[in-house]
Chain A
Amino acid sequence: MASPPPGRARLIVSLVVLSWLLWQVTVPLAYYVAQDVMGLAPEEPRFRWRMFSQMWFSQRACNVSAFEVREAAAGSEAVRPLDLGQVLYSIWIEQLRENRQAVVRKFLQSRCESDPSVIQVEFMRTCPATPGFPLPEVSLRPACRAGRLEGAPLTP
């Protein structure tokens, strides 16, 4: 029989086992007890073994839209709605519906970078009312300066 590891190795293995278990329990548990730890947003189901949750269902019914404000002639501004289906692959749009923060931020950044005349980007998410399970509306209007996203962290 392959022997159990000897004394010191057994101690190291035991520490590895304990660390692994701690990791495996705390990451999903954080969803319920401390949602904003480890950089994971409250609505973020990754690494937490939440399959087919109520939130997942509700988010699928959300609508997302985006607008760009561009500099027009003589200091005026022009607002242009974005056809999200033409600028993003559908999986990314689903993730905007889920309000996945990293995707929202990167999307807004990419719009700022797409054209120096873009001075502001607007992103909105609206969700139908769900009894006992309200999903927050999201409305972000960060400004762009020289092709870069400006402003504070993106929170609805």
Chain B
Amino acid sequence: MIRAWDRYWFGPVNAIRPYLAVKIILCLLAYDVWTLRVPVGWRYGSDGFNVAHFGWLDGIQPVPWPGLYVGLMLSVGLLALVCALTDPGRWARALLALLFTYGWAMSLLDVFQHHYFLSLVLVLFVAFPRVAAQSPHRTPGTIAATTTDQSADPAPTTPLTVSAWAFVLLGVTVAIVYAFTVVAKLDTEWLTGTVLQRLAAPPLLSVEAWAERMGVPANAFWQAPAVGTLIAEALITLGYLLAPRLDAAGHRWLRIISRVAFLLAVGFHASAEIMLRLSIGFFSYYMVVFACVYFIPASSLLAAATAVARLATWLASLSSTVWRAAAATSISVTLIEVTVLAGIAGVIGFSLDLPGASTVGVLTAAVLVGGALAAVAAGRLLQVRRHLFATGLASLVMWTVITQTSARVDYYTGLSQFLQGRGDHAAAGETADKARRYGSSRLL
């Protein structure tokens, strides 16, 4: 019994799985918060009204305001991207989990269940093995993953497996989510297809009309996918429960179940988006990423990641050439470079023209300069520099995403409509002007 427990939770998992899970989910998270959460930041504190998710939080926090929420979401995106790029440490992942969780917990304005789910994911990420892409000269042409854990074997020929109980636990957590979505559907309304019929988008209704002409009764048309969804979700649950054993056991039946679960998971989320047009958006994307990292054979994941890694390696070699040239000159030159990056981060904060953004810019600049000085004092500039550069790069990516998507337009459009509804026509006009201005300046 104990051996089976140990085998399940502490058995070997191909390192590419937790590696890709962290990288892709954190990149998605950054884009998610910048494009979907920042634009609704104006709602916070509107009419001076707020209710937090937990009563005790209401007791200790002030009524949130747009600057707090937008600043928090910008910071969450920045930190997520830095963690994805260079993984400064478990403390950074823990801070990310804390900030993100406070982001939704501060107000019932955000009741998306997938934000709670993401908090669970981020908490488990803290305990994920710290896996880094191996340097290209060791394993040319691959993204062979190696763990940076102290407990890991530091030999150059590091095998590609890790013991990753948090990765296994995340898979089981996802299985629990799917299992309860099955339980929630065990009622007459769902089983008879009534709920599905209500959710159906126009394309599906026209398919229903076509099916009826072909002799398929309407109730059967809706009942079949409703029951099919239940079965699919149950099989996906089973897939996630078995997936942690995929790399270690390698049974053929296990591989078959994983592939079926992968197809069902992707099909389920794609149909919710395309057939039902539920616009669930990022939740579907996150779940598809999980389906990929848990169910796809590790060899295929490695092959796909290698292509991306080649590009990243080439970019890294460019920056390291520049860095080496600078580092060879003197520490003061390095500090000047970090100061320039800090200046850019600060300017970005002020140029975004969103509440809280300037504070984030100043804080990022302070982190860069403070981090560099502290690293020099500790004689660790060499180890810390990539995190500093990642922070600067994340600021630039944030600026690009915020200015080139509809984030600012949506922010000011929403605010303008709200002010219009409250009869503040002058302020509504001003914010509408901003929305128009930013709408015309973006490319995406």
Which A residues form the contact surface with B (CB < 8 A)?
Answer: 1-5, 10, 13-14, 17, 20-21, 24-25, 28, 32, 39, 45-54, 57, 85-89, 91-92, 95, 100, 102-103, 106-107, 110, 132-133
Contacts and interface: CB of A to CB of B under 8 A. Distances in A.
B169 A17 contact: yes
Contacts, number: 124
Given A1-B159, A2-B129, A50-B184, A24 B173 contact: yes
Contacts of A20: 169, 173
Given A4-B163, A13-B10, 8 more contacts: A4-B165, A10-B10, A21-B176, A47-B113, A49-B180, A57-B198, A106-B58, A133-B189
B51 A102 contact: yes
B183 A2 contact: no
Contacts of A13: 9-10, 165
Interface stretch (B42-50, B95-103, B311-319): B42-50
B421 interface: yes
A24 B176 contact: yes
Nearest to B175: A24
B265 to A, nearest CB: 15
Given A2-B129, A17-B9, A24-B173, A86 B113 contact: no
B286 to A, nearest CB: 14
26 contacts: A1-B161, A1-B163, A2-B162, A3-B151, A13-B165, A20-B169, A20-B173, A28-B180, A39-B55, A46-B111, A46-B113, A49-B177, A52-B195, A53-B184, A54-B187, A54-B189, A86-B421, A86-B422, A87-B47, A88-B47, A89-B418, A92-B49, A100-B51, A106-B49, A110-B48, A110-B49
Interface string B30-59: 000000000000010011111101010010
A2 B116 contact: no
A4 B6 contact: yes
B199 A52 contact: yes
Given A24-B176, A48-B180, A95-B108, A89 B55 contact: no
B176 A25 contact: yes
Interface in B139-196: 147, 149, 151-153, 158-159, 161-165, 169, 172-173, 176-177, 180-181, 183-184, 187-190, 195
Nearest to A25: B176
A107 B49 contact: yes
A95 B189 CA distance: 23
A5 B188 CA distance: 47
A146 to B, nearest CB: 19
B12 interface: yes
Interface string B336-348: 0000000000000
B61 to A, nearest CB: 13
B253 interface: no
A82 B61 CA distance: 28
A85 B46 CA distance: 12
B91 interface: no
A46 B43 CA distance: 21
B270 to A, nearest CB: 16
Contacts of B6: 4, 10
Contact of A51 (B9, B176, B184): B184
B109 interface: yes
Nearest to B123: A20
A25 B169 CA distance: 13
A54 B5 CA distance: 38
Contact of A17 (B55, B162, B165): B165
